Amino acid sequence: MTDAVTTDTRADTRKAGRILYVASIVLLCAWVIIPIYFLLINTLSSPETINSFPRSFFPEFDLGSLTFFAGFAGMLSALKNSILVAGMTMVMSILIGAPAGYALSRFEFRGKGLFRMLILLTRAFPLPLLALPLAVMFIRTGLDDTAFGLALVHTTLAVPFAVLITFSLFSGIPIELEEAAWTLGCNRITAFTMVVLPLILPGITASAIFAFVISWNEVFAAAVLTIENRTLTAFLLQNLDTSPLHLKFAGGFILVVPALIFIFAVRKYLFAMWGIANR
């Protein structure tokens, strides 16, 4: 390749630019993919291989690490907690976020701009700042160390995204479709369920999955607010210095994979949220 460039006396700058472009892409992809790849091969190797040297670049498809992971005391219940909390977060953030998104997209009201800003501002407070007062409050109300309590915190983290994603989804549905439904015998609710909902259902699903991933990946609140009912992230964090290497790899892999798959599945709706054309 370098030969081709140097022998070309006309110094094809366009070609050079192209090579640079491709190289940058390869570098960026490698930056993201290589750690995940190492995670993958180490997860799919036996505990002995992981602790030996040199490392193999190819997985040996040994389920030893995963089996050990599954058998580790408390791991499965942590996984169950993670799914439970993420599921509740998903449902609550849509139930709260979607109506807010609809209101933002369809109605003009006083303080609409302020409302939108406040939604974003909820993300401006660092969680550690809120953790202590939250913990105290949760202990007083009996919400501490429960999946529901943690789901509440995760919902506050996920709601801004749910609002913004559904806002852009609803804005993409022409108001005339609803108006046509009203003139054809619908009231506001039936027009919504028969016309708007079927059209935004894929987007709502995407927004829900995004909320799920936010909760799934969250570690700080989970570590502070739970003791017995730890989620997977908090559980792994807790055992970080005591657990063997293969357990860390397997745990990391179990954490990364669902998030990766989900984000990949809903990427088009996340782009819509950032204002890139939703086609």
Partner 1 sequence: MAEIQIKNVAKTFGAYQALHDINLTIADQEFMVLLGASGCGKSTLLRIIAGLETATSGEVWIGGRRIDHLSPKDRGIAMVFQNYAVFPHMTVFENIGFGLRMQKLPKPEITRRVERVATLMHIEQLLKRYSGELSGGQRQRVAVARALAMEPDVILMDEPLSNLDALLRMEMRAELKGVLAESKTTAIYVTHDQVEAMSMADRISVMHQGNIVQSAAPIEVYRNPSAEFVASFIGNPPMNFLPASASSDGKWTVAGEEFDGPKSQRSPLNFAVRPEDLRLGDTGLKATAKVVEPLGAHLLVTCEIEGALFRAVLDSDLNIRPGQILKLSPQPDRVRWFDPETTLAVA
Rounded CA gap, 34 and 40, in Å?
10
Residues in the site for partner 1, rule: CB under 8 A? Answer: 174, 176-177, 179-187, 190, 195, 198-199
Alpha-carbon gap, residue 230 to 78, rounded angstroms: 6
Q: Which is nearer to partner 1, 111 or 142 (CB)?
A: 111
Q: Which residues contact 55 (CB under 8 A, 6 or more apart)?
A: 41, 42, 49
Residue 99 or 202: the one with the smaller Cβ distance to partner 1 is 202
Per the listing, tokens 């669902």 go with: 258
Structure tokens at 174: 């022409």
Nearer to partner 1, 135 or 199 (CB): 199
Q: Closer CB to partner 1, residue 100 or residue 173?
A: 173
Q: How far is the CB of 166 from partner 1 (least distance, A)?
A: 18
Q: How far is the CB of 187 from partner 1 (least distance, A)?
A: 7
d(CA 166, CA 97): 7
Question: Toward partner 1, which CB reaches closer, 108 or 241?
Answer: 108
The H-assigned helical ranges of the chain are 2-7, 13-43, 47-51, 64-71, 75-106, 112-121, 127-141, 147-171, 175-183, 188-191, 197-217, 220-225, 232-238, 245-265, 267-273
CA distances to 162, 210, 224, 231, 250 from 273, in Å: 10, 12, 31, 29, 33
- Between residues 52 and 193, which has the closer beta carbon with respect to partner 1? 193
Minimum CB distance to partner 1 smaller for 159 or for 181 = 181
181 in Cβ contact with 223 (< 8 Å) = no
Q: What is the CA radius of gyration of the chain?
A: 24
The minimum distance between CB 194 and partner 1, in angstroms, equals 8
Q: How far does CA 219 lie from the centroid of its chain?
A: 13
Nearest to partner 1 of 99, 174 (CB atom):
174
Smallest separation, CB 232 to partner 1 (Å): 38
Token pair belonging to 130: 């809120």
| Min CB(91)–partner 1 separation in Å | 24
Q: Cβ 193 to partner 1, closest distance in Å?
A: 12
Provide the minimum distance between the beta carbon of 95 and partner 1 in the complex, in angstroms, as a whole number.
Answer: 23
CB of 190 to partner 1, least distance (A): 7
